[in-house]
């Protein structure tokens, strides 16, 4: 019956309760929607990191991480044999990677040269899709190079221009080759773009003497969930090599994901804090208005625990009934915008790309966070209830009743 009383009391001042309920709904809607945007950004960032940048797993020679020297390489055929036996692996790319100088008539710049198999590189990270101008690397054409639009702009390069790459070979001797720019690419990660050029692996191997060897193996899996099992499998199969998951290769991505989680919770928390003041105020007024009634109840034998419970129950109801409506609205908004996407690029220009984000965000409702949010709402309600409930307890029946 306490529940019935609390529920009916809630609607004694309909307008007031509706205002609070609506605020909670709006707050939940905004909070959850912002959370969905954050989460969508995180998901997109994760997809970019895995699908276009670092893949799920990378394998290196243990010395390579500290010193990107050409001599720290691995035998291609034995790697390929291991990878081909694991069905969870969707594609892999074996690369020769070395640092060097890119020189043109107008200047030079330190860069990383990636020698790739064009088809494998397409299969693991969709490299061809990022070509903005000109052509992707042609497996049949010698000494072609793919540079980023950003670098091209900086060094005033154009398609068809010749550049010279100066590199160190496996014996640390300086070697150089002339390459013709076949195309300009542009990924979602502008800072990386500026540092990387792509050539055919065979061309690079010829220059630095790494035929049949690779510095880097990038592995794309069918499913994110296979990450850890495959990781363990590879560690066993290739004990002498350094095996890393995307979290280790790109710790900033992992960090961004966890901080987006934190941000959205902080955001929700601030909203709830604001709402709790409204709730407390409303309930204080409700208690004040019912001074006589509460005094009478205490006089006839309702103990403090029950009085407390009655006020808490009413507060929780007040706080909680608006939440599902807000969550539903957020869900619908997310469903709709998750389809069309929000083009933040239109507002923020290229700056999102500079941080490695795609400009169009597809909000995603993170269910575990929604559950967390509901728990937070409940917690807020309980906390907000304490003050008004204590106020009710402090009433003295004689004083409350005296007319």
Partner 1 sequence: MQTVIDAHNISKVYNPDTIPVHAVNSVHLHLNRGEFTALVGPSGSGKTTLLNIIGGLDAPTEGQVVINGINISELKPNQLINFRLHNIGFVFQAFNLIPVLTASENVEFIMLLQKRPKAERTRRVHELLASVGLSDKLNVRPSQLSGGQQQRVAVARALASRPQFILADEPTANLDSHSAATLLDIMEKMNREEAITFLFSTHDQRVIDRARRVITLVDGRIENDSAATQIRH
Contacts of 85 (CB under 8 A, 6+ apart): none
Closer CB to partner 1, 142 or 306, in the complex: 306
Q: Does position 401 bind partner 1 by CB under 8 A?
A: yes
Number of neighbouring beta carbons within 10 Å of residue 153: 11
Contact of 391 with 304, CB cutoff 8 Å: no
**Residue 93 DSSP code:** E
Q: Is 8 helix (H, G, I), strand (E, B) or coil?
A: helix
Confirm or reject binding of residue 142 to partner 1 (CB under 8 A): no
* Phi, psi angles (nearest 5°) of residue 50: -80, -50
Q: Least CB distance from residue 7 to partner 1, whole Å?
A: 9
Told to check if 296 binds partner 1 by CB under 8 A, we report yes
**Closer residue to partner 1 (CB): 98 or 315:** 315
Secondary structure E strands in 237-354? 242-245, 342-343
| Residue 39 beta carbon to partner 1: minimum distance, rounded to whole angstroms | 42
User: Which of 23, 22, 27, 20 shows the shortest CA–CA distance to 268?
Assistant: 27
Q: Judged by CB under 8 A, which of 306, 336, 351, 375 binds partner 1?
A: 306
Contacts of 248 (CB under 8 A, 6+ apart): none
In the set 44, 151, 297, 365, which binds partner 1 (CB under 8 A)?
297
Longest Cα–Cα distance of the chain, Å, equals 102
DSSP E strands in 337-398: the ranges are 342-343, 360-361
In the shown chain, the binding pattern of residues 7 to 46 toward partner 1, with x for contact by CB under 8 A and - for none, equals -xx--x----------------------------------
Residues 370-399 binding partner 1 (CB under 8 A) are 397-398
Q: Least distance in Å: CB of 6 to partner 1?
A: 9
Tokens of 366: 């993170």
Q: Which residues in 228-267 contact partner 1 (CB under 8 A)?
A: none
Q: Does 293 bind partner 1 (CB under 8 A)?
A: yes
DSSP string, 315-357: HHHHHHTHHHHHHHHHHHHHHHHHHH-EETHHHHTTHHHHTT-
Strand pairing class (213-214; 74-75): antiparallel
Residue number with CB closer to partner 1 (165 or 297): 297
Q: Does 285 bind partner 1 (CB under 8 A)?
A: no
Alpha carbons within 13 angstroms on the beta-carbon side of residue 192 total 17
Is residue 5 part of the contact set for partner 1 (CB under 8 A)? Answer: yes
Residue 162 near partner 1 by CB under 8 A: no
Asked if residue 321 binds partner 1 (CB under 8 A), the reply is: no
In whole angstroms, how far apart are CA 3 and each of 92, 303, 310, 312?
61, 16, 7, 10
What are phi and psi for residue 192, nearest 5 degrees? -70, -40
Binding residue count for partner 1, defined by CB under 8 A:
23
- Residue 301 CB, shortest distance to partner 1, in Å, is 3
Decide if residue 299 touches partner 1 (CB under 8 A). Answer: yes
Give whichever of 110 and 301 is closer to partner 1, judged by the CB atom.
Answer: 301
Closest separation in Å from C-beta 276 to partner 1: 25
Among 137, 298, 313, 385, binds partner 1 (CB under 8 A): 298
Residue 11 DSSP class: T
Q: Residue 286 Cβ, how far from partner 1 at the closest point, in Å?
A: 12
**Which residues contact partner 1 (rule: CB under 8 A)?**
1, 4-5, 8-9, 12, 292-293, 296-304, 306, 397-398, 401-403
């Amino acid at each position: 019956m306490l529940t019935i009383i609390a529920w009916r009391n809630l609607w004694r001042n309909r307008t007031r309760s509706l205002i609070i309920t609506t605020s909670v709904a709006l707050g939940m809607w905004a909070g959850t929607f912002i959370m969905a945007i954050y989460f969508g950004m995180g998901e997109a960032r994760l997809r970019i990191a895995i699908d276009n940048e670092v893949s799920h797993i990378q394998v290196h020679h243990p010395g390579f991480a500290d010193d990107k020297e050409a001599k720290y390489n691995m035998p291609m055929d034995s790697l390929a044999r291991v990878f081909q036996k694991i069905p969870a692996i969707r594609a892999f790319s074996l690369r020769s990677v070395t640092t060097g100088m890119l020189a043109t008539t107008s200047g030079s710049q330190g860069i990383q040269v990636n020698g790739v198999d064009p088809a494998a590189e397409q299969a693991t990270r969709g490299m061809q899709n990022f070509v903005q101008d000109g052509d992707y690397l042609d497996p049949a054409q010698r000494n072609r190079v793919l540079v980023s639009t950003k670098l091209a702009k900086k060094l005033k390069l154009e398609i068809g221009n010749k550049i010279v790459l100066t590199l160190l070979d496996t014996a640390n001797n300086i070697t150089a080759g002339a390459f013709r720019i076949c195309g300009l690419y542009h990924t979602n990660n502008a800072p990386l773009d500026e540092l990387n050029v792509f050539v055919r692996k065979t061309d690079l191997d010829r220059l630095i003497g790494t035929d049949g060897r690779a510095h880097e193996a990038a592995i794309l899996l069918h499913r994110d969930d296979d990450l850890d099992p495959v990781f363990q499998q590879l560690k066993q199969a290739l004990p002498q090599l350094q095996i890393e998951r995307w979290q280790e290769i790109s710790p900033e991505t992992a960090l961004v994901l966890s901080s987006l989680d934190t941000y959205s919770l902080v955001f929700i928390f601030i909203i709830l804090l604001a709402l709790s003041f409204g709730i407390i105020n409303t309930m204080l007024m409700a208690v004040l208005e019912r001074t006589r009634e509460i005094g009478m109840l205490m006089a006839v034998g309702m103990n403090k625990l029950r009085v407390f419970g009655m006020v808490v129950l009413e507060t929780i109801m007040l706080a909680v009934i608006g939440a599902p409506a807000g969550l539903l609205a957020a869900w619908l908004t997310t469903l709709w915008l998750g389809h069309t996407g929000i083009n933040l690029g239109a507002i923020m220009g290229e700056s999102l790309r500079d941080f490695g984000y795609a400009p169009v965000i597809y909000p995603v409702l993170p269910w575990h966070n929604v559950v967390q949010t509901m728990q937070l709402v409940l917690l807020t309600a309980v906390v907000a209830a304490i003050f008004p409930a204590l106020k009710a307890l402090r009433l003295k029946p004689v004083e409350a009743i005296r007319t």
